[in-house]
């Protein structure tokens, strides 16, 4: 690759990185999106701050009912973590579906979320998990709910100079079933449509249904119509199908050479039904 000339810094601490960002540097995490864009010169940053040398930014920890995942934790680390697999299997399943082995070895959760690609896998799961994104800037730290964080295509709630430090996801108790199901674009591996489901059964009824959708529109979103249609129900096949049919309600679907808007919408419904059924089976 032959990018345009740029300055390169490798800060040793997050505060150092924030200082560099204040001077206009662009943060580089795994580089799985930024580097291809620089290769094509669609991104021409003057200055890169490589977060890879910041030691205390890659971790997976359990803390008072949540999992804390450091921003530069790779997809492979998430996918293969025994802790994530047992405490937040939806995130592990999603990580395992990202791109290919090479991408999973280098790509990071913070980088993926900060990039806010509308076809990225993680955001669907993070929506279903109602995750919090912890951002730090020169003025301090704040936790941003994922739904407000994902503002638009390639656009987040991060302020200039802010950097993601951590992603917080809840640890679900017994009786919760999850599933991530995607249609991968054959060339890139990105989600044409990706559906993340988290269901809790309380007795006969479904006490909680969370559905995150990626690939379909300008940003990953919660399919609240689907969620409401199922909560309080028992989850019969007919109920699942009816609820899945609401997954794209009110959504302006994307259209490109890989899938037209009507086909994408159709895929979202089909895979929502499949993911709901699978999650339900796992919740039993």
Partner 1 sequence: MATITKPETLLGKRIRRREDPRLITGTATYVDDIKMPGMYYAAILRSPHAAANIRSLNVQPALARKGVLTVFTGKDTEHAGSVPCGAALPGLRVPHHHLLALDRVYFVGHPLAVVVATDRYIARDAAELIEVDYDVLSAVADPEKALAAGAPAVHPQWPDNTAFTFHQEGGEVDKAFAEADVIVKQRITSQRLIPMAMETRGVVADWRAAERALTLYTSTQAPHLVRTLVAQVLGLEDNRLRVVAPEVGGGFGSKIDTYAEEILMAFVAMKIRKPVKWIGSRREDFLCTIHGRGHVDYYELAARRDGEITAIKLKIIQDLGAFLSLLTPAIPTLSVLMMPGLYRTKNIRADVVGAFTNCMATDAYRGAGRPEATHGIERMVDILAAELKMDPAEVRLKNFIHNEEFPFPTATGLVYDSGDYAAPLRKAMDMVDYGKFRQEQARARQEGKLLGIGMSTYGEICAFGPSPATPAGGWESSQVKVEPSGKVTVATGISPHGQGEETTFAQITADELGIGLDDVIVVHGDTSLVPYGIGTFGSRSTAVGGTALYFALQELKTKLKKWGVTLLESEDVTLADGRCTCNKSGKSVSFQEIAFAAYRAMKVPAGAEPGLVSTYFWEPPNFTFPFGAHIVVTEIDRDTGEVFIRRYVAIDDCGKILNPLIVDGQVHGGVAQGIGQALWEQAVYDDNGQLITGELMDYAVAKAPMMPWIESGHTVTPSPVNPLGVKGVGEAGTIGASPAVVNSVVDALSHLGVRHIDMPLTPEKIWNLVSAGGGK
Question: Where along the sequence are the contacts to partner 1 (CB under 8 A)?
Answer: 1-2, 4-5, 36, 39-41, 183, 185-188, 190, 257-260, 263, 266-267, 270
CB atoms within 10 A of CB 243: 26
59 or 263, CB closer to partner 1?
Answer: 263
Distance in Å, CB of 241 to partner 1, minimum: 11
130 or 241, CB closer to partner 1?
Answer: 241
79 or 166, CB closer to partner 1?
Answer: 79
22 or 36, CB closer to partner 1?
Answer: 36
CA–CA distances in Å: residue 203 to residues 136, 174, 239, 283: 41, 12, 17, 11
Tell me the C-alpha distance between 191 and 172, whole Å: 25
Q: How is residue 206 written in tokens?
A: 């479904």
Tell me the C-alpha distance between 234 and 236, whole Å: 6
Q: How is residue 222 written in tokens?
A: 């919660």
71 or 259, CB closer to partner 1?
Answer: 259
174 or 257, CB closer to partner 1?
Answer: 257
Angle between helices 261-283 and 237-244 (to 10 degrees): 140
Element of type H or E holding 109 = helix 109-115
CB 222 within 8 A of CB 212: yes
Element of type H or E holding 106 = helix 101-106
170 or 189, CB closer to partner 1?
Answer: 189
CB 119 within 8 A of CB 192: yes
Which positions ≥6 away from 167 have C-beta within 8 Å? 68, 69, 71, 109, 110, 113, 126, 131, 132, 133, 134
Distance in Å, CB of 137 to partner 1, minimum: 32
Distance in Å, CB of 186 to partner 1, minimum: 4
Distance in Å, CB of 226 to partner 1, minimum: 17
Report which DSSP code applies to 245: T
Tell me the C-alpha distance between 165 and 162, whole Å: 9
Distance in Å, CB of 63 to partner 1, minimum: 37
153 or 207, CB closer to partner 1?
Answer: 153
Distance in Å, CB of 259 to partner 1, minimum: 6
Report which DSSP code applies to 55: G
Distance in Å, CB of 20 to partner 1, minimum: 23
CB atoms within 10 A of CB 62: 14
Distance in Å, CB of 10 to partner 1, minimum: 20
């Amino acid at each position: 690759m032959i990018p345009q000339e740029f300055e390169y810094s490798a800060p040793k601490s997050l505060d150092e990185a924030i200082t560099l960002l204040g001077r206009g540097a662009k943060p580089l995490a795994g580089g799985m999106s930024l580097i291809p864009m620089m290769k094509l010169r669609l991104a021409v940053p003057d200055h890169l701050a490589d977060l890879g040398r910041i030691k205390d930014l890659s971790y997976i920890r359990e803390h008072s009912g949540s999992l804390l995942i450091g921003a530069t934790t790779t997809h492979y680390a998430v996918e293969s973590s025994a802790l994530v697999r047992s405490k937040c299997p939806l995130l592990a399943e999603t990580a395992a579906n990202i791109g290919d082995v090479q991408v999973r070895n280098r790509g990071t959760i913070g980088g993926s979320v900060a990039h806010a690609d509308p076809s990225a896998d993680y955001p669907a799961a993070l929506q279903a998990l109602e995750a919090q994104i912890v951002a730090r800037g020169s003025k301090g730290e704040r936790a941003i709910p994922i739904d407000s964080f994902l503002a638009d295509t390639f656009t987040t709630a991060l302020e200039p100079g802010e950097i993601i430090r951590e992603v917080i996801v809840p640890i679900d108790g017994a009786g919760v079933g999850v599933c991530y199901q995607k249609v991968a674009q054959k060339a890139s591996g990105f989600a044409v449509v990706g559906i993340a489901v988290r269901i809790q059964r309380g007795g006969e009824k479904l006490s909680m249904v969370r559905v995150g959708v990626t690939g379909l529109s300008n940003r990953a979103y919660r399919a609240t119509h689907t969620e409401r249609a199922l909560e309080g129900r028992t989850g019969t096949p007919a109920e699942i199908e009816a609820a899945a049919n609401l997954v794209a309600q009110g959504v302006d679907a994307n259209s490109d050479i890989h899938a037209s808007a009507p086909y994408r919408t159709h895929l979202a419904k089909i895979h929502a039904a499949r993911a709901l059924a699978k999650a339900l089976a796992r919740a039993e």
